[in-house]
Amino acid sequence: MSALPEGSTHATSTSEGYSLPTSPLTPPSFAAAVAAASGTNSQTIAVDAGPTGGRISLLLDAYGAPDIVEIWQNGTRVAATGQAYAPGGGAVGPGAAVSNQHLLSFDYDPADGQTIEFRFNENVSVSGTAWKLSGAVLQDPADPPPARQTTVSTVIGTSAEFDPPLPSADPEQVGRALGVRPQGSSSTYTLDAGGQAGRMDMTFDAFGDADRVEIWQGGVRVAASGQAYAAGGGAVGPAAAVSGRQTISFDYDPAGGPLSFRFNEGGGTPESAWVVSSLSLNAANAPLPATAAGTSGRQEPGFGLIHYDFLANPRGDSHLRASSRDLTAAGLRLDALNWDTPETILATIDVAGKLAIQAATYFGERLAGFNRTGAQTGRMSDVVQTGVGNLVDADLAKEGARLQALQVQQRLAAQSLTIANAAPQWLLSLYRGSGG
């Protein structure tokens, strides 16, 4: 969902993970354990969790190769990878091998012993694995638990020449520089968000010119720009025009039916650009995302677009434009590839792939447009040739009839002249007869 100048590229990469909150109840021993707990294969770390009870959450990153982690307290397995959270510090089953990021939580009671053990790949024959303990926190049980969140990175590519160069340029400025208006400034999108209920968070960037967006479900306006979050899917007031990046949240209930996203309904500023950079479904009790004000545009060195305009009809009042696309390493954002951070490589390659697909789609659409124009021009040429042929045939028939008329007139004239010449001879023959 976006309204960008023609020739813009829009690629989005999504990653999901947990983020641990800070808590004043967290003992200093957790920080030391986190600093020491990273490595390969099997390891056990004992931690003094202190005299304060609460809910302990451990954030593990097992990377690609699977690992097994269990947390023990006084002879009881209170948490393990692949096992659900057991309220009240109840025992859980053996750990299962997991990959990537994983959260383990359990209710801690110091009366059961203050020493807890983090057991990594215990009694498991593994090799070549790597894992890291990313964090540990002790929270009040009344506080919301860490929730899985979605992080979306959006790359918008628009190209124009500025003289003098600007330190930052958003799509609206690029559109004005190119003399091209964004496409779809006033649009409506319908989305079936699936059967899972939760709170939906949308990041919306209106850039410099103000825009309005409203989200409707089942005939109810459940969210709108400039309106506060209404818990429980309650109705909100009409949208207000906003600029910059905004976060819009609402409670989604699949029983309410599909969602309708309405941008600048009834018309907006023709030169206004906007983009939805993220849309995620989170737990209803997850912390509301912070709103980051301001625009996200920036200017990067690269190739400016080269435009080619072609006549679309013989009158010359319509053109077809084909523009270049920057498919260099810089244009595909591959120059930012960092082999020292493997977790970002796939995201970077994914962005490059989407940019390449968008370029191929653009060229495919332009090729289809040229083919349609060529076919239409061919049909027009056939019609003109047929018309010219009909005119030529009509002229030949007319000239043939005229020639035949002239030939008849010529024969009649010759016959008349013959008759005229024969008349005196006939009269003389009469006189000859009478004289004899």
Pairing outcome for strands 213-217 and 220-224: antiparallel
Tell me the mean pLDDT in the region 321-347. 72
> What pLDDT, on a 0 to 100 scale, did the predictor assign at position 7?
63
Measured from the Cβ of residue 371, the count of other Cβ atoms closer than 10 Å reads: 10
Tell me the mean pLDDT in the region 109-123. 88
> What pLDDT, on a 0 to 100 scale, did the predictor assign at position 307?
63
Answer with the residue of higher pLDDT: 297 or 168. 168
Answer with the residue of higher pLDDT: 423 or 139. 139
Q: What is the pTM of this model?
A: 0.47
> What pLDDT, on a 0 to 100 scale, did the predictor assign at position 202?
85
pLDDT of 7-34, one tens digit each? 666 666 666 677 788 889 988 888 887 7
> What pLDDT, on a 0 to 100 scale, did the predictor assign at position 214?
93
> What pLDDT, on a 0 to 100 scale, did the predictor assign at position 312?
65
Instruction: Kindly report the average pLDDT of the chain as a whole number.
Output: 77
pLDDT of 213-248, one tens digit each? 999 998 999 999 999 888 888 899 999 998 888 888
What is the percent of the chain where pLDDT is above 90?
14
Tell me the mean pLDDT in the region 126-146. 79
Q: What is the CA radius of gyration of the chain?
A: 41
Pairing outcome for strands 187-191 and 115-120: unpaired
> What pLDDT, on a 0 to 100 scale, did the predictor assign at position 165?
66
> What pLDDT, on a 0 to 100 scale, did the predictor assign at position 296?
43
pLDDT of 169-186, one tens digit each? 777 777 777 777 777 788
* Residue 299 binned pLDDT confidence (cut-offs 50, 70, 90): very low
CA distances from 109 to 31, 46, 106, 116 (A): 20, 16, 10, 11
- Closest C-alpha among 112, 92, 107, 110 to residue 139: 107
Tell me the mean pLDDT in the region 342-352. 75
CA distances from 249 to 19, 109, 167, 200, 260 (A): 19, 36, 32, 6, 14
Look at the block and give the residue holding tokens 């021009």: 377
Give 223's Cβ-side CA count (13 Å radius): 24
* Residue 319 binned pLDDT confidence (cut-offs 50, 70, 90): low
> What pLDDT, on a 0 to 100 scale, did the predictor assign at position 292?
44
Query: Tokens at residue 177, please?
Result: 């520089």
Tell me the mean pLDDT in the region 321-326. 72
Query: Tokens at residue 232, please?
Result: 């429980």
What is the percent of the chain where pLDDT is above 70?
75
pLDDT(38) > 70: no
Identity (one letter) of the amino acid at 13? Answer: S
Tell me the mean pLDDT in the region 95-120. 88
